[in-house]
Amino acid sequence: MNTTAVERKTISLKRYGIDSKGIHYQLIPSELQSLTLKRGEGTVTDNGVLAIQTGRFTGRAPKDRYIVIDDHTRDNTDWGRVNIPFDGKRFDGLYERVAGHLSSRAVFVRDAYACSDRDHRLKIRVVNETPWANLFVHNMFLRPKKKDLKDFQEDWLILNAPGFNALPEWDGTSRSNFSIINFTRRIILIGGTGYTGEIKKGVFSVLNYLMPTEKNVLPMHCSANQGTNGDIAIFFGLSGTGKTTLSTDGKRTLIGG
């Protein structure tokens, strides 16, 4: 999809407290790959694939995922080791420091959709510190058409700053890395980790909360295929366990992966 005219438009992030002098909006994959290589943040493998070393974290850090306690979540969340509570004022302070960090460097911004069903679709704006993380967002989420990008207004904002490390004694986190969801401000704040799966899982967590509580819909972490008679098979499992691989069948139609 060629969206060059929109990709070159100038946008401001000042309403988020980010005053970056270098804002790259909706760049195409070849540009993001070129910038990644130019910045020395990745390499191209023998078969032409862009490879990234994400640093200390090569997977998620679920013990460092937090949810802000607010009027939305206070009585609707099973608090504990999975859903770790976080103070709203601490979030506001940490947000300001992350915004300041992003203001001091070039950032990569992408507007996208989560959910193909228009009744449940979320508009998301992601601000990335690195071009390769922005490329991940391009590949992970649904891409708006040019006309939809013109007046795009996000439902959720994601700030992704792998180069920012929290100070646990000051910020209230357990370690220097964090992923925090704020349902009042509709913000996902990620820092201290280069693993891009935190972006995907953050959006999944938001959907897994909003869809049952606001839409009366039960989300499922699964893949699915459909037979010629309309019968549907659903494959459940943790991330990376082969759900999509198992549901890919030459005699059946893949309807969800």
Map out the domains of the chain as residue ranges: 4-215, 222-256
Extract long-range pairs of 73-79: CB within 8 Å, 24+ residues apart. 73/183, 73/209, 76/209, 76/213, 77/209
Q: Distances in Å between the alpha carbon of 145 and those of 3, 7, 87, 129?
A: 8, 11, 38, 24
Q: What is the pLDDT of residue 58?
A: 86
Residues linked to residue 41 through DSSP beta bridges, in sequence order: none
- Phi/psi zone of residue 191: left (φ > 0), alpha (ψ -120 to 50 degrees), beta? beta
Name the pLDDT band for 2 (thresholds 50, 70, 90).
very low
Q: What is the mean pLDDT of the chain?
A: 93
CATH number of 4-215: 3.40.449.10
Q: How confident is the model at residue 8 (pLDDT cuts 50, 70, 90)?
A: low
Please tell me the distance from the alpha carbon of residue 115 to that of residue 101, in angstroms, as a whole number.
Answer: 30
**Phi, psi of 203, rounded to the nearest 5 degrees:** -65, -40
